[in-house]
Amino acid sequence: MTVKTRFAPSPTGYLHIGGARTALFSWLYARKHGGSFVLRVEDTDQERSTQESVNAILEGMTWLGLEYDEGPFYQTRRFDRYREVIQRLLDEGKAYKCYCSKERLDALREEQQKRKEKPRYDGKCRDLTEPPSPDAPYVVRFRNPLEGQVVVDDRVHGRVAFSNTELDDLIIARTDGSPTYNLTVVVDDMDMGISHVIRGDDHLNNTPRQVNILHALGVEAPVYAHVPMILGEDGKRLSKRHGAVSVMSYRDEGYLPEAVLNYLVRLGWSHGDQEIFSLDEMIQLFDIDDLNAKASALNVSKLNWLNQQYMKAMDPAHVARHLSWHMGQLGVDPAQGPALEDIVVAQRERSHTLVEMARNSLFFYRMPESYDDKAARKNLKADTRPALEALRAALAAAPEWQRERLHETVTGVAESLDLKLGKVAQPLRVALSGGPVSPPIDETLELLGRDRSLARIDAALQFIDQQGQAAG
Ligand code: GLU
Q: Is 185 in the pocket of ligand 1 (CB under 6 A)?
A: yes
Distance between Cα 10 and ligand 1 center (Å):
6
Q: Is 424 in the pocket of ligand 1 (CB under 6 A)?
A: no
Catalytic residue, chosen from 240, 294, 378, 423, is 240
Long-range CB contacts (within 8 A, 24+) of 156-162: 156/201, 156/225, 156/226, 156/227, 156/228, 156/288, 156/291, 156/292, 156/293, 157/201, 157/204, 157/226, 157/293, 158/293, 160/204, 160/207, 162/207, 162/208
Pocket test for ligand 1, best of 7, 10, 214 (most atoms within 8 A of CB): 10
Amino acid at the residue 219: V
Q: What is the mean pLDDT of each successive set of 10 residues along the chain, which is 472 residues long?
A: 95 93 98 98 93 96 97 97 98 98 95 92 94 94 97 97 95 96 98 98 96 98 96 86 86 98 96 96 97 94 98 98 98 95 97 98 96 97 97 96 97 97 98 97 98 98 92 72
Closest listed residue to residue 368, CA positions, set 463, 258, 230 = 463
Structural fold of domain 4-76+229-303: Rossmann fold (3.40.50)
Pocket test for ligand 1, best of 7, 73, 185, 226 (most atoms within 8 A of CB): 185
Q: Is 10 in the pocket of ligand 1 (CB under 6 A)?
A: yes
Q: Is 8 in the pocket of ligand 1 (CB under 6 A)?
A: yes
Residue nearest to atom 7 of ligand 1 (CA): 8
Distance between Cα 69 and ligand 1 center (Å):
19
Check if 312 is active-site: no
Q: Is 20 in the pocket of ligand 1 (CB under 6 A)?
A: no
Distance between Cα 30 and ligand 1 center (Å):
18
Q: Is 33 in the pocket of ligand 1 (CB under 6 A)?
A: no
> Which ligand 1 atom sits nearest the alpha carbon of residue 6?
8
Residue 460: exposure state from Cβ atoms within 10 A (0-12, 13-18, ≥19): buried
Distance between Cα 9 and ligand 1 center (Å):
5
Please give the class, per CATH, of domain 367-472: mainly alpha
Q: Is 13 in the pocket of ligand 1 (CB under 6 A)?
A: no
Burial state string for 398-423 with b = 16 or more CB within 10 A and e = fewer than 16: beebeeeebbebbeebbeeeebeeee
Distance between Cα 145 and ligand 1 center (Å):
24
Please give the class, per CATH, of domain 78-227: alpha beta
Q: Is 203 in the pocket of ligand 1 (CB under 6 A)?
A: yes
Q: How much is the pTM? A: 0.93
Per-residue pLDDT tens over the stretch 206-265: 999 999 999 999 999 999 999 999 999 998 888 777 777 899 999 999 999 999 999 999
Q: Is 42 in the pocket of ligand 1 (CB under 6 A)?
A: yes
- Preceding peptide of 440 cis, ω within 30°: no
Distance between Cα 252 and ligand 1 center (Å):
26
Distance between Cα 181 and ligand 1 center (Å):
9
pLDDT at 471: 76
Residue nearest to atom 6 of ligand 1 (CA): 8
Long-range CB contacts (within 8 A, 24+) of 240-246: 242/298, 245/16, 245/17, 245/18, 246/13, 246/14, 246/15, 246/16, 246/17, 246/56, 246/60
Dump strand ranges (E) for 223-291: 223-227, 230-231
> Which ligand 1 atom sits nearest the alpha carbon of residue 7?
8
> Which ligand 1 atom sits nearest the alpha carbon of residue 42?
1
Distance between Cα 19 and ligand 1 center (Å):
9
Q: Is 201 in the pocket of ligand 1 (CB under 6 A)?
A: no
pLDDT at 1: 80
